[in-house]
Amino acid sequence: MADLTLNPNPASVGERIYISGCGYEQEPVLIEVTDTDGDLAAKFYIGMFSTGCMDNAYFSLADAGTYTVSAFQGKGRKALYQKGAQKELKATAALTVS
């Protein structure tokens, strides 16, 4: 299983939250940030190095709350941007924003 690290955690509203992780296939990772109601707060892709580790990336959130950050890649080594690709969950992390 891949890993997913958020720094800082907890974070403040509007603060840059840096995201990193390793153990992924050599294709972009889809990141989805959802709140406790399951509503999507952010969605973006991160590039991957040949080592299976994420490129440098960060995001910020405008609202305080508890969030789940999920990392997905294409099932069966199929990139998510390809037609018919299905999402496969690779890692999750909890995030608190105040």
Which residues, other chains included, contact 77 with Cβ-Cβ below 8 Å and sequence gap of 6+?
25, 27
Query: CATH fold of 5-97, please?
Result: Immunoglobulin-like (2.60.40)
Q: What global pTM score does this model have? A: 0.91
Residue-wise pLDDT tens for the chain (98 aa)? 899 999 999 999 999 999 999 999 988 999 999 999 999 999 999 999 999 999 899 999 999 999 999 999 987 766 777 777 789 999 999 999 99
Q: Domain segments of the chain: what residues?
A: 5-97
Per DSSP, the residues of the chain read: ----EEESSSB-TT--EEEE-----SS-EEEEEEETT--EEEEEEE-B-TTS-BPPEEE--SS-EEEEEEEEEEGGG--TTSTT--EEEEEEEEEEE-
- pLDDT value at position 1? 81
